């Protein structure tokens, strides 16, 4: 198995992902939200690349079974049901619902990687389960960091490195690209306090400024859920477990 990390979505175009196994990471906060919502019983997440498209899809859904969710500049979008705070995606709110989700970087990164053969989402909250899943698939892996408006961000890179550590602790002989090795080095630097790293990173500071400090604590919880979201036919669903 070879693992590479794309430090920004701009490192690759849509066709690059064709047939690949890809893991999208947007710790603050899109993939934490996706993992949490599916873990709490959401039927599916429909990740979209624009607010217009999100509105269009929701306009066709009149059955009360959909929620229109996401953020612009970290805040809930006018007319939407939920913003992008993971702790709002509670069981009583999301169970059985289709969640149409737009976020600035995270859902766009997922849409960009849509031609992948296997497309998963990862955050600190489902690290161990995603690692186990990847070891079972046993294919080369592209870890796609959603970053921030095309730029590098430390929290996604650090989570990528931690995911790689989880994989290499389960499997021998994994080959790492330079970007993958660098991600591991960054992750090891923050191994004992990635919550503090996230409070002090650029997006973390913005979230605190905008009143979302509690979200950072939530996004820092590690391997506390077992859900592995898997993209198929335009939606993310809970992946069925793969036999060992």
Among left, alpha and beta (phi > 0; psi -120 to 50; other), residue 76 is beta
Of all residues in this chain, which one has the CB nearest to ligand MLT in the complex? Answer: 103
Q: Which of 103, 116, 129, 239 binds ligand MLT (CB under 6 A)?
A: 103
Q: Which of 4, 58, 66, 74 binds ligand MLT (CB under 6 A)?
A: 74
Among left, alpha and beta (phi > 0; psi -120 to 50; other), residue 202 is alpha
Site for ligand MLT in 204-243 (CB under 6 A): 207
- Supply the minimum distance, in Å, between the C-beta of residue 151 and ligand MLT: 11
Note whether 201 binds ligand MLT by CB under 6 A.
no
Which two three-digit tokens encode residue 189? 């630097």
Q: Which of 44, 71, 132, 166 binds ligand MLT (CB under 6 A)?
A: 71
Of the pair 145, 225, the CB lying nearest ligand MLT is at 145
The vertex-63 CA angle with 59 and 66, nearest 5°, equals 65
Q: Is the peptide bond before 29 cis (omega within 30 degrees of 0)?
A: yes
Q: Which strands sit side by side in the sheet containing 98-102, from one edge to the other?
A: 75-76, 66-72, 98-102, 44-48, 235-238, 229-232, 118-122, 21-25, 141-145, 2-6, 175-176
Q: Which of 21, 36, 104, 183 binds ligand MLT (CB under 6 A)?
A: 104
Of the pair 86, 184, the CB lying nearest ligand MLT is at 86
Note whether 84 binds ligand MLT by CB under 6 A.
yes
Note whether 158 binds ligand MLT by CB under 6 A.
no
Distance between CA atoms of residues 176 and 43, nearest Å:
35
Binding site for ligand MLT (CB under 6 A): 26, 28-30, 71, 74, 84, 103-106, 146, 207
């Amino acid at each position: 198995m070879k693992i590479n990390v794309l430090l920004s979505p701009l490192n690759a175009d849509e066709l690059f992902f064709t047939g690949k196994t890809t893991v999208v990471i947007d710790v603050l906060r899109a993939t934490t939200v996706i993992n949490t919502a599916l873990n709490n019983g959401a039927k599916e997440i429909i990740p979209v690349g624009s607010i217009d498209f999100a509105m269009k899809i929701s306009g066709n859904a009149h059955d009360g079974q959909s929620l229109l969710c996401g953020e612009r500049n970290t805040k809930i979008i006018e007319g939407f049901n939920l913003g992008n705070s993971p702790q709002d995606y509670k069981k009583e709110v999301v169970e059985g619902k289709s969640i149409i989700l737009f976020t600035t970087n995270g859902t766009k990164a997922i849409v960009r990687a849509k031609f992948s053969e296997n497309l998963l989402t990862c955050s600190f909250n489902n690290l161990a389960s995603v690692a186990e899943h990847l070891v079972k698939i046993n294919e080369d892996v592209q870890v796609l960091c959603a970053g921030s408006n095309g730029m590098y961000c430390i929290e996604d890179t650090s989570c990528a490195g931690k995911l790689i550590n989880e994989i290499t602790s389960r499997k021998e002989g994994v080959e790492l690209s330079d970007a993958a090795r660098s991600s591991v080095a960054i992750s090891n630097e923050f191994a004992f306090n990635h919550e503090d790293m996230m409070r002090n990173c650029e997006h973390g500071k913005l979230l605190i400024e905008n009143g979302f400090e509690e979200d950072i604590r939530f996004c820092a919880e590690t391997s506390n859920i077992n859900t592995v979201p898997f993209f198929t036919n335009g939606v993310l669903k809970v992946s069925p477990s793969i036999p060992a």
